[in-house]
Chain A
């Protein structure tokens, strides 16, 4: 199977603060070099808590942010052009806040026409036809086209957002928390719609969310992000059932599950490390119950941990320990 999307050493560093002469005085590494690939027609879930760099990663993938290092390959071809319009035809983005992503002063038709006109240079008649087709496939009524965004509920607005990305005809969609602003009953409608569209148009998804259960329900593989790095990646069915990285285990244990008694998996209020002053070794070492001296001085790299999973940890859980790995 070919990889629809392949990232190699993609990273982003933001300069912070300025000296009197305009030089940057510090740097924050929002995304550490990430290497990932998503096969055609699959969904890669990305989970992580706020501040872990998941949105920065998403914005780099669609060309809204320029990566500091690394490259993005789509269908084997390197994307080196920073022009978002060029990205637009290959890879599209579904925003978290469905209402905010629609211009309040344009009708839905005007919003839908933009990608058809600018990316595909379609004629007016073709555009009209194509918009009706797309609306059909996302279960929206054509009379919505002449209304304004504020007349829609969150779920409808998110369908419109999805319809717009379909209009661009990209094969890869970056879904950045697409349902976290929606109510649960509507959330399920949108998730099912996304699943149907994926089969119908053979799309490839990168699904970003902080909700473990949602990611697990929609993804084939899941990558767990902590402090800008992938700490674990593996098949969706196993990653939370048998977590290998202590952070993944912490996440899985923290999620409220019906039938599990309430216990705080962490006693003290442990927090993310200071990005201006990152730790030398593993970023999770300060919170990790299994940390040893090695963890505080060396950064663990992603390495295979069996059953298609990879983990960046010197002392993973649920992995039979090899004498060599110590």
Chain B
């Protein structure tokens, strides 16, 4: 709740709207105790007094009634009717929407077609028809305004409910023995209430206007009772001669509706989870770079070289050290595996190389990424753009979310090619077919006109690979490219990647959590834990004789096919959260060999030949494993 208020207060306009609205509401509530003239006493001798006349601060109307008093009493009434109508419409609309969305099928169809019919009438006609049937009067106007707004709520809430009704926790509740009625009340309703509040906050101003409109036409409040609409209606005939009688209620309506709308927008922004997570804030074109120290120079070890890379996420006053000093390199034709659990920083490392980490909140705070000896971090955006996709390209985990759903895969491939070199449509198409053939998509001439949703997961990932190959890159960074695929398809995709790097001399950085995949594809492997590489070396060495206790225990956790039914080794505890890393070894709390020295200070990555370990007490190499 305090977080909500803080979020709301950050939006200055919403805050201003809120303050104004609170003042108006307090004033309206205080009306009965204020020393005001009777709003309904006529005094024709004093009619059309201008504002600031003695005894009538805002003047008087055509019957000599005190305008200030009428304005405040009228505001009170209009607000009350508007809020009541909004609550009635929200309650009935939400109930209809939840029932339709939850039960679905025929119930949904019948209810929603009825709602559609209601929406087919212009709202004012419908309201007029309802008032005509019920007779004029403020209460009937309220009913009309509420009824007219029910469909809006019903449609909104139904959409949200359909999404929630298929969530797993609803199934779980059903299995826990909850009846449908209880599921609606205790599972669905708490999850749609924010949406109801958002919808109400954005429509309540509109409903006050509609009520005023009906009163203006003489169908709402009846004389002598004042509300803002009827005051405007009565002042209409004197609009030219005595404009203040119209301006006074008009300005009040403006103030109320503006403040409600500003506040409503603020409430919506503060409650909407998508806005809260910053999804709608536009990230910068390249990750922000803020390096305190000059990075180490390139060592020339590989085509792509990452040196002492540090990437952090700054979220409010917390600093998440996602990558805390990573060194790695990959040579032409080589495949480097990076293995680690979620949150170990493997993906952030990969994205940092090309400045693809979203900023805010991401910041690269140290290190360098040398491609062919030139630092990419902090490079001008034009140069980064030139290299992205042309020299270094990416393959992501989920091809369905990286391919545009509305364009044919061929067109997306051609676009990727044309982004880097001028090429005609026909030549582009020929190249696209050739690429699809290179990733062994059967019948590429025909599949080129498919939309992504028409392809299976394996075929889509092949298109993802084809896209990465479009400009003959030197380096491919593949971020869990086969995690979402079935095993038989995974084997095919891995073979394609392996053939490509051998035939084209590609350097591949392959990020995964699967030791089996690393063993089959990668020449070297780096194991990451809590943002750092803890062990690095030739794949065969590490898999045969891991030196870091984390690597050893992680390998023992993984069930291996062919070993039969058994109890698995588990690593107790959880990885540390990267906004609160321990001073010494990050794995110390889960390690069985931990000593006091492990916790004292940071531990360097010690290199012996091809093998590097970040551990003070590495697992001893067994006799037969030593080369």
Contact = CB atoms under 8 A, between A and B. Distances in A.
Which one of A63, A102, A106, A272 has the highest number of Cβ atoms from chain B below 10 Å of its Cβ? A106
Contact of B171 (A93, A115, A220): A93
A50 B486 contact: yes
Contacts of B441: 269
Interface string B504-518: 000000000111110
A104 B273 CA distance: 13
Interface residues of A, number: 77
Contacts of A87: 175
A185 B177 contact: no
A216 B559 contact: yes
Contacts of B167: 100
A18 to B, nearest CB: 11
A192 B556 CA distance: 13
Interface stretch (A71-79, A249-257, A296-304): A249-257
B175 A100 contact: no
Interface string B459-473: 100100000000000
A263 B169 contact: no
Nearest to A237: B564
Contacts of A250: 488
A276 interface: no
Given A257-B516, A269-B462, A115 B487 contact: no
B492 interface: yes
Interface in A31-57: 49-50
A119 B176 contact: yes
Interface in A75-105: 84-85, 87-89, 92-93, 95-97, 100-105
A34 to B, nearest CB: 20
Contacts of B494: 256, 262, 264
A110 to B, nearest CB: 8
B570 A269 contact: no
Interface stretch (A125-133, A207-215, A317-325): A207-215
Given A93-B171, A257-B561, A114 B491 contact: no
A241 B177 CA distance: 42
B483 to A, nearest CB: 10
A217 B566 contact: yes
Contacts of A258: 515-516, 519, 543, 560
A216 B492 contact: no
Contact of B565 (A64, A220, A257, A260): A220
Contacts of B565: 216-220, 236-237
B456 A184 contact: no
Contacts of B491: 253-254, 256, 262-266
A137 interface: no
A300 B397 CA distance: 37
A115 B495 contact: no
B342 interface: yes
Given A114-B178, A216-B563, A263-B495, A49 B488 contact: yes
Contacts of B519: 256-260
B563 A254 contact: no
Contacts of B569: 188
B175 A103 contact: no
Contact of B173 (A63, A103, A155): A103
B169 A103 contact: yes
Given A49-B486, A256-B520, A84 B562 contact: no
A191 interface: yes
A210 B179 CA distance: 33
Nearest to A180: B483
Contacts of A236: 564-565
Nearest to B513: A184
A294 interface: no
A13 interface: no
A185 B562 contact: no
Interface string B171-194: 111111111001000110011000
Contacts of A261: 520
Contacts of A88: 175-177
Given A188-B568, A259-B519, A264 B191 contact: no
B516 A217 contact: no
Nearest to B488: A254
Contacts of A260: 519-520
A164 B568 contact: no
Given A213-B560, A240-B561, A184 B178 contact: no
A191 B556 CA distance: 14
B520 A93 contact: no
B177 A186 contact: no
A68 interface: no
A118 interface: yes
Interface string B333-353: 000000001100000000000
A145 interface: no
B440 interface: yes
A241 B513 contact: no
A191 B571 CA distance: 12
B562 A103 contact: no
Contact of A254 (B174, B487, B564): B487
Nearest to A59: B171
B566 to A, nearest CB: 6
A143 interface: no
B557 interface: yes
A40 B569 CA distance: 26
A14 B557 CA distance: 40
A189 interface: yes
14 contacts: A93-B171, A95-B171, A167-B176, A183-B342, A184-B557, A185-B570, A188-B559, A188-B571, A211-B559, A213-B560, A254-B487, A256-B517, A262-B491, A271-B456
Interface of B: 167-169, 171-179, 182, 186-187, 190-191, 341-342, 440-442, 456-459, 462, 486-492, 494-495, 498, 513-517, 519-521, 543, 553-554, 557-572, 574-575
Given A95-B168, A263-B491, A269-B459, 12 more contacts: A49-B486, A85-B174, A168-B177, A188-B568, A191-B559, A191-B568, A211-B559, A212-B487, A217-B568, A254-B491, A257-B562, A271-B458
